[in-house]
Amino acid sequence: MRFFILGNDRKPQVVAEAARLRPFLEAHGEVAAYDLRQEQDLSGLVADLAIVLGGDGAILRAARQMGYRQVPVLGVNLGKLGFLADLSPDELVGCLPQIAAGQTRVTSHLMFECEYPTPAGPATVLGLNEVVVHSPTFGHATELDLAIDGEPVTRFVGDGLILSTPIGSTAHSLSAGGPVLSQELPAFLITPICPHTLTYRPLVDAAGKRYTIGVRRADGATLTADGQGLGRLATGAAVTVRRAGVSFQLVKVPGRTYYQTLRDKLRWGTPPNYRTEPPAG
């Protein structure tokens, strides 16, 4: 096998684990790229597996770094939550023979392209989790127009709008009250942030449609994608989000399911901790 070893060298534990794991991985194949600074252009390299050390943020960065030549990702959790990063470093060592033998499942997931205006002209960014258009100033509402496939849908007043993929439905959107979507669902989720009304609810629609968010308020708005600031949007500006022509690929190790991760990492469906009554008498 050919491996990418990726991560974030600003976290000391990532550097240490990458150095520890590299000889083990080289015993099972070839390391095609070793980049803990997200500096290397991976688009011209070939690999069978990208091992990403860190948390979910490291996986988002790796997906952007691979661009339109996505390689199946196996996440090694060295962060806090690790919703996408299933394994510990020791678990990786234990299951790598299974992975090398092809005894795993690779799932495909929706990625997005976000086109937005800049002073130099239109720019496009590829992402995995979400696009957020939000108020540039804390405590001040912004006013946005949402259109789907060119049809006006709603005018929104509040802190902002999140447009997320199913992978992103357990990130910022979840914190804003959005539902959890099955990760392989071909759909986008639109979640309002603190709407100034009692009637707005999250909306799920097809992945094949084009979503446009326009800015109406005089002080503009701010645009972020996968947690990365892309700049200010002036009044009258619009961003367009559509399905990308490439999919994110995630390696699923036997014995770990999506619903198990929901229960273990997010405590989904965990019953109340009822007090045990003392015995009578």
d(CA 251, CA 50): 10
Tokens of 160: 């902002």
| Counts for the chain of helices (H) and strands (E), in that order | 5, 17
Evaluate whether 202 touches 179 at the Cβ level (below 8 Å): yes
Tokens of 148: 């789907």
Which helix (H) or strand (E) segment holds residue 145: the answer is strand 142-148
Per DSSP, helices labelled H in the chain are: 12-26, 56-66, 89-100, 172-175, 258-266
Gyration radius (Cα) of the chain, Å: 21
d(CA 16, CA 214): 45
d(CA 204, CA 190): 6
Enzyme catalytic residues = 56
198 Cβ contact partners less than 8 Å away, ≥ 6 residues apart: none
The amino acid occupying position 12 is P
